[in-house]
Amino acid sequence: MDIQPDKKQVQVWSDWQKQLSEYLVDSVQRSIIFTDILRKRGNNYIKHIRSGQPPVLTFNYEMILNAKNFKHPANYALVRISDRRKKDAAPGHGERRQKTKDRPERPKRPIVIIDPRAGHGPGIGGSKRDSEIGMALEHGHPVYFILFYTDPIPGQTLPDVIEAIEIFIEKVVELHPYADAPAVMGNCQAGWAAALAYADRPGIGGPLVLNGAPLSYWSGVSGVNPMRYKGGLLGGVWVNSLLSDLGNGVFDGANLVLNMELLNPANTFWTKQYNVYSQLDTEEERYLNFEKWWGGFFMMNTEEIHYIVRNLFVGNKLERGELELREGQKLSLKNIDSPILVFASMGDNITPAQQALNWIPRVYSSVEDIKRHGQVIVYIVHKDIGHLGIFVAGSVAKKEHNQIIRNFDMIDFLPPGLYEMVIEGDIKSGKFTTDFAPRTFADIAAYDDGTADETDFSVVAKVSEANDNLYQLVARPWVKLWATELGAEIIRYLHPLRTQRYLFADINPLMRPLKNIASITRQNRKPAAADNLFTAMEKDFAAYIDGILDIYRDYRDLNQESLFKQIYGSDWLRLLFPPVEAELSKEAQEVLADHDKRLEAMEQGGVAEGLIRIYMATAKINQGIKRKHYEIGTEIALTHKVLSKLRPAKFKKIMQEQTAILQADEDKAINALSVLIKDKDDRMEALSIARRLFLADGAYNDAEKMMLEKIKKGLQL
């Protein structure tokens, strides 16, 4: 009896064989091309090294200053971005005010962007068009970039670097005398470095933007932010001292990059590579461009890395006002008198949002304390973007950085206080609305799970200091005796992050035939269909591997956290190294004299002071300046017969003074308007300006009506 196979089964079997054959061809081709991409990565790395590891900028630039020629030299330089469309071109050096037919226009303020020197090289802030530099150019600002070189100057210290940054900012101010003070945007490490410069030299620049920059080094959420425990588990700063000594006085930045890579093993060992393997027809260029920056390893002197780890990451001295750039001169973040904007993300596992924000309630005793110091602090918290995404992601550039740059001038006009920058809108359309919502310290505390866990880190700081002193006394002389430049070079060459690039580069003879094989494969590329059964199985398997590595990471992190708490929470260790109890700065009594000074200035000034006082009163009644109020106020300032004659710096100084006076006693300040504006016609004009500002939204609300009546009464009209 003949058994005829079912036609349906035959068809299924045939489809299965076809899909398998299709998948095998596709997977072999992808394997060849992916290996060739790794070869290109290795070649790019070697080429980048041989060319001196220049910045990975997509923009042209011209040299302005090189810090290697300074009195205290450093491996930093100031350049001006020159890649600019003609319609965006800003006035050049020695620029003066330009006029249009309608009204005079002040030149755009310059923007200075600094990339992190934390293992990698410079340029990530401008590695593509949709970036911080790209957005600044889009808005027509003169753009400057502070870059750095691979090797530090012998004897270079962190204070030398901060001094170089200060000189660079001063140079930008000199080149743009008629513009507002430059805004400085610091990414990660460059953020806290810029904060040191601002604290060391108050008033040196305009708004300071801290993108993913840690200033509260002990902060974080238990079970979520494991990176902060690593220093304690290794015994503190002595490990960095050892690595520097083995490097013959130079610390290899590849060690910092490796720390970041090991933080997320799933991404490092699997996801990043699989993403390219599975989408190599579209991902190759993006991957190679990113790896060019990610694989650029930059060095630090022993003195630099030791100062940074001992005083900042382990010692946490900046937040507590104990950091000394120069002997006997302690820095306080309260010295910063320029507006500060903090950009953090809840998805950042390298600089958690708590490390970016918690310094605010530690340095200031209250929001009122911020106001008393005349400070404006604005923060943005992204929901989920990762650390690098804060200054790399195109979506962030188009939204957050675009709006930050667009609103620099508006931030200058905010009354002192704490605000959250709330951005709403659609990235595709490019239309956004931005508001500055007043916030309290409770809003910042809501991102954390308390500060009790930070007590252990004060024990770490003391143990670290003891271990480092012991290492320097006992071990360092022997390590230095045997350390040579040749040995240091061998150690650097054998670093795993370098060897993986060398092995897949053309310097490995086994890789040389791959170029031609990959070229033929690309010409005959036959990708599997999107609905291929085996491609789907591959993706499921990849997700499984990713999940396994995530489980390993979570298990490792929880065990490290538990071990850390067992060691540094133990009673016997705390007897030897007593913890420092957390203390918030309390300065509630110091401001009585400030209030007296403000009250004394109630009736000092003229028409300009009176008009600006009215403008700031409208901002106060609306709980901050709205965009429409700002635009109308700017137009008035540029066209008014008195206000238009004021230089930007003078205008903003008066604005800050009038804001302080209003905060001291609003009623007395409004009642004194007639003393400042003596002429009746000027008073009528002032009342008209107040009405125009309040009508920016189209109608008066009840609070605006009440304030308008107070202003009218204060003007005696």
Look at 28-32, 207-211, 567-571, 609-613 and tell me which has the smallest mean pLDDT: 609-613
| pLDDT tier, 641 (very low <50, low <70, confident <90, very high otherwise) | confident
Helix axes 280-294, 7-50, angle to 10 degrees: 30
Mean pLDDT of 609-629: 71
Helix axes 627-639, 680-694, angle to 10 degrees: 150
Helix axes 607-621, 648-664, angle to 10 degrees: 60
The answer to whether residue 553 scores a pLDDT higher than 70 is yes
Q: Give residue 87's Cα distance to chain centre.
A: 29
Give residue-wise pLDDT tens across range 433-451: 888 999 999 999 999 988 8
Give residue-wise pLDDT tens across range 484-504: 999 999 999 999 999 999 999
Give residue-wise pLDDT tens across range 167-182: 999 999 999 988 889 9
Distance CA 652, CA 597 (A): 19
| pLDDT tier, 629 (very low <50, low <70, confident <90, very high otherwise) | low
The answer to whether residue 667 scores a pLDDT higher than 50 is yes
Return the pLDDT at 16.
81
Task: Give one DSSP letter per residue of 472-523, joined into a string.
Answer: IIIIHHHHHHH--HHHHHHHHHT-HHHHHHHHTSTTSGGGTTHHHHHHHHHH
The answer to whether residue 87 scores a pLDDT higher than 60 is no
Distance CA 331, CA 312 (A): 12
| pLDDT tier, 105 (very low <50, low <70, confident <90, very high otherwise) | low
The answer to whether residue 579 scores a pLDDT higher than 80 is yes
Distance CA 310, CA 17 (A): 63
Distance CA 631, CA 435 (A): 14
Return the pLDDT at 98.
42
Return the pLDDT at 157.
94
What b/e string do you get for 262-288 counting C-beta neighbours within 10 Å, with b at 16 or more? Answer: ebbebbeebbbebebbeebeeebeebb
Mean pLDDT of 447-469: 92
Return the pLDDT at 624.
52
Give residue-wise pLDDT tens across range 54-72: 999 989 999 999 999 999 9
Alpha helices in 248-377 (DSSP H): 254-263, 265-266, 272-278, 280-294, 302-308, 353-357, 359-363, 367-372
Every domain of the chain and the residues it spans: 61-88+108-218+316-450, 592-714
Contact 662/617 with Cβ under 8 angstroms? yes
Give residue-wise pLDDT tens across range 382-416: 998 989 889 888 888 889 999 999 998 888 878 78
CATH architecture of 61-88+108-218+316-450: 3-Layer(aba) Sandwich (3.40)
Which has more pLDDT, 333 or 665? 333
What b/e string do you get for 367-390 counting C-beta neighbours within 10 Å, with b at 16 or more? Answer: bebbbbbebbbbbbbbeebbbbbb
Give residue-wise pLDDT tens across range 309-318: 999 999 999 9
Return the pLDDT at 86.
42
Mean pLDDT of 452-468: 92
The answer to whether residue 622 scores a pLDDT higher than 80 is no
| pLDDT tier, 612 (very low <50, low <70, confident <90, very high otherwise) | confident
Highest averaged pLDDT of the listed ranges 253-267, 390-404, 703-717: 253-267
